[in-house]
Amino acid sequence: MFRCVFLTILAATMARSRAESFTVEGAAARAVKSNPDLAAARWTIEEARGRLWHSGRPANPELETELKPNVRGREFSLSVGFTQKFPLTKRLFIERSISEVEFAVAEAEVRDAARLLKSQVRTAAVKLLALQSQKALYDEQRKHSSNLADTATKIAEQGEGSPLDAAQYELQVQDLTLKAIETETERATLLGELRPLLGLAGTASLTITGGLSAPSSPSAGASPERRADYQAALGKEAAARSAIELARAGKWDDAGFGLAAEIERAEDAPEGLRTEGFIGLKFSLPFPFWNKNEGKIHEAAATAAKAAKQREALAARIRAEAAAALSEMEAAAKIVAQTSGPLMKKAKELEEKYDAANKLGQAPIIDVLRSRERRFALEAARLNALRDYHLARVRLLAAQGQ
């Protein structure tokens, strides 16, 4: 029995400690599904839905009663009235249309929040993959620098070289060790930022799998109409234009129609008390003499003009973001091509030549190791350019609304 309990606890502990692994796109999909801030933002849609249900409805009917007794006798009058107000303009229809647009705007804003969240997650995931490659390169460089230090020490002991070379390479080993530690620190920081975005606990183990693919031909620029924030801006502009009509319609208050019934009991000498009844219609019509809603009309017109300018500015900013990301991708792709192609080929050929010359006794080992170090520098430049390419690609996807 105790063995079963122990195995159960052990299995539960292992399940809790199991690492969560995601690709870059898998992490973005997980964030859209599990991010708590995005889940809270989705409730704005329900708020807009509630406002939509409430809008466009006429005012509730009113019941009026009045009792007037004669304080010195038995005479009194009692009246009961029923009043319903109706708009003289199409105000209710405009209110309903504005609420429908605002509901669509709320949905677009939630989609835009998901777009920004995916971009944020993709950026952190790409940086993590780049850090993993950088750490592997640092480890290889540190091993190479240790070989350089050992070789320089042996040459110095034989009196064929300077001990300063060995000290310099030892310093380089320490510098690469420090860079590896800094890489781990940066990785921990990125994981700390990524966990809440994915809806994971702060102690959850998280791993980003995969690698940074080679650059490909970038897609075309962005079309503002595909962006959720631009769709929201269009909706806000449409709602602002409808608000002008609503302000103009608000110049006229609602008219009132009603039905009234009255009973009156009065003294009629010499016959005594008599009861009389009346039934009538009521109608009230407001006139816009003093308040013509000019201020609200002007405010609504200014709001509509501002919304139009904001929408135009957003469209220009979207196109600029896409153009900048495309330029950065093209520049980074050229660096990757150069460092992966001609330059890397020359560096490897030079390293092989020095290695062959060293075996024939025509070149010292230091030249072989230094040529290898230049190859490492090219590899580091390639990794940085590849990282910059993918970060620019993330910005392009965000600009395109993907």
- pLDDT per residue as tens digits for the range 178-230: 878 888 888 888 888 888 888 888 788 888 888 888 888 766 767 888 889 89
Considering the chain, what percentage of its residues have pLDDT values greater than 90?
Answer: 20
Rounded to 5 degrees, what angle do the CA atoms 322, 323, 329 make? 90
Please say if the pLDDT value at position 270 is more than 90: no
**Can you tell me the mean pLDDT for 63-67?**
88
pLDDT at residue 313 in the model: 94
Nearest residue to 65 (alpha-carbon basis) of 53, 86, 83, 40: 83
Contact yes or no for 164/91 (Cβ under 8 A)? no
Please say if the pLDDT value at position 1 is more than 70: no
Please say if the pLDDT value at position 361 is more than 80: no
Whole-model pTM: value is 0.79
**Can you tell me the mean pLDDT for 374-385?**
84
Quote the CA–CA distance of 129 and 194 in Å, as a whole number: 13
Considering the chain, what percentage of its residues have pLDDT values greater than 70?
Answer: 87
| Least trusted range by pLDDT, from 27-41, 56-70, 269-283, 318-332 | 269-283
**How many Å separate Cα 136 from the centre of its chain?**
32
Cβ burial, residue 225 (10 Å; 0-12/13-18/19+): exposed
Please say if the pLDDT value at position 14 is more than 50: no
Quote the CA–CA distance of 264 and 274 in Å, as a whole number: 8
| Average pLDDT over the chain, rounded to an integer | 82
